[in-house]
Structure 1
Amino acid sequence: MIADENTTVVARIADSIAERIISGTLQPGAPLRQDHIAREFNSSHVPVREAFRQLQAQHLVVAVPRRGVRVAPLDTHAVKEIAEMRAALEVVALRNSAPRLTSVHLARIELALIESDNAQTIEEFERTNRAFHQALVMPCAMPRLLASLDGLQLANSRLVFAMARTAGWRPRSNQDHRLILQALRARNFDHACNLLARHIQTIERLTLPAS
């Protein structure tokens, strides 16, 4: 029972801090003090440290020697790293997922695409965009890979919000998503994977200027 309670507290802390980082409430480089967070959530330092480990695995915080835990940077190097990791890992997941896609899976992907096209706020777009990418790879049956992608998806969501704050955002359809779905329906899996890799890498171009 105690272990379950600790797990719940860790999840609550990690989810709350992740939301603040993704939305931009907590800015890159901001310090995260264990004692402050423990007081906020009325917990000991143990679940806070575990929450920090989870956030670090999701590329949202970094542990800096002699400076403690801080919100991960959003510089050109970080954007490039996230884009390249996602492009590599999500394509591996799609290659394994694509042959397993059923009509039900394809309908779920199409629903996420439609909801993304109809999004009226950046929050709606971020949620439905994440759902689209998760639906693409869910049937791959590779739980460790999916867990890694979940963390990268959260890091990518942070880039989406940062891009919206910098350049603005307006409702629009996502042609890349539509082309990926068309390729999957045609069972042209290599083309779908190439489209996905190109689509993911656009975040590197759009979020931050080249150094």
Structure 2
Amino acid sequence: MVKDLLFEQNEPLKIISELGDVDYFPGFFSPPSSQSIFNRLIEDITWHQEPIWMFGKKIMQPRLTALYGDPAIPYSYSGITMETVAWDKLLLDIKDKVEHVCNTEFTHVLLNYYRHGQDSMGWHRDNEKSLGNNPVIASLSFGQERVFQFRKYSDKSEKKSITLGNGSLLLMQGATQKYWEHQVPKRAGIQAGRINLTFRKIFPPK
């Protein structure tokens, strides 16, 4: 049962404390539970590969995606408006545990499936107007560990890297999305997949 999946909560590791607030919770879910969740997400989620525009060209995103949440609230980013699928029980159970730790209510979860090391996500900030000011983004990782990088948006001078492990939680809040951007770079030799769940609160258009 998903209700038994949460590890005893350990103190998080502080990743960013200047011009933002980022905490890392390794082992948020146990290894057996994380593997079970990964397998269920592979089988149960309706995955899509969306086209995006880059440098004037239309290309397919180097990963698979899905969006679950409140279907009455749309979500758009990078020129994409994703179709929202209603919550299923597994995602709701995970959301409940994440909300308890983050003390935040989330309306959606954006899922990314990195099938191998050549799947990636480029530098960006989660700063769409629909997320409001200083959004709280809770990012869960399942499957293959991958490097996740931050750098200061203004001058690109300071870069921080962290390896996100299976069953871990990365919590980004405060002014993080204003002053820092992040990416998941390509990595040669990685054949196994990683699924990332980013919980967020999306405000309806006015």
TM-score for both structures, normalised by structure 1: 0.25
The structure that is strand-richer by fraction is 2
User: Which structure is larger by alpha-carbon Rg, 1 or 2?
Assistant: 1
TM-score normalised according to structure 2 size: 0.25
